[in-house]
Amino acid sequence: MDRFLYLTFDGLSRGAIYAAFALALVLIWRAARIVNFAQGAMAVAAAYAGYSVTNATGSYWLGFITAVAGGLLLGAAVERVVMRFVDHSSPLNGVVVALGLVLIIQGVLGMIYGNEFRPAQAPFSRDAFQIGGVALLSRYDLFVFAAVGTVVALLTLLFTRTPTGLRMRAAAFAPDVSRLLGVPVGGMLTLGWALAAAVGSLAGMLVVPTELGLHPNAMDLLFISAFTAAVLGGLDSPVGAVVGGLVVGLLLAYVSGYLGATVAPMAVLILLVVVLLGRPDGLFSKAKARTA
Where in 95-154 is the site for other proteins (CB under 8 A)?
95-97, 99-115
Residue 156 interacts with other proteins (CB under 8 A): yes or no: no
**Cβ proximity to other proteins, 47 vs 147, nearer residue:** 47
Q: Which one, 130 or 262, has the nearer CB to other proteins? A: 262
Q: Shortest Cβ distance from residue 229 to other proteins (Å)?
A: 11
Beta carbon nearer to other proteins, 68 or 222: 222
Mark the segment that binds other proteins (CB under 8 A) among 43-51, 67-75, 136-144, 180-188.
180-188
Residue of 184, 212, 258, 279 that binds other proteins (CB under 8 A)? 184
Fill in the per-residue mask, 219 to 238: x = in contact with other proteins (CB under 8 A), - = not in contact.
-xx-xx--xx--x-------
Residue 52 C-beta: closest distance to other proteins, Å: 15
Reduce the secondary structure of the chain to three states and give it as a string. CHHHHHHHHHHHHHHHHHHHHHHHHHHHHHHHCCCCCCHHHHHHHHHHHHHHHHHHHCCHHHHHHHHHHHHHHHHHHHHHHHHHHCCCCCHHHHHHHHHHHHHHHHHHHHHHHCCCCECCCCCCCCCEEEECCEEEEEHHHHHHHHHHHHHHHHHHHHHHHCHHHHHHHHHHHCHHHHHHCCCCHHHHHHHHHHHHHHHHHHHHHHHHHHCCCECCCCCHHHHHHHHHHHHHHCCCCHHHHHHHHHHHHHHHHHHHHHHCHHHHHHHHHHHHHHHHHHCCCCCCCCCCCCCC
Please tell me whether residue 281 binds other proteins under the rule CB under 8 A. no
Residue 272 binds to other proteins (criterion: CB under 8 A): yes
Candidates 168, 124, 165, 163; CA nearest to 147 is 124
Closer CB to other proteins, residue 118 or residue 139?
118
Output 110 or 149, the one with its CB closest to other proteins: 110
Site for other proteins in 45-74 (CB under 8 A): none
Contact segment (CB under 8 A) with other proteins among 90-98, 138-146, 205-213, 242-250 equals: 90-98
89 binds other proteins per the rule CB under 8 A? yes
Contacts (CB under 8 A) with other proteins, residues 188-207 = none
If one asks whether residue 183 binds other proteins (CB under 8 A), the answer comes out as yes
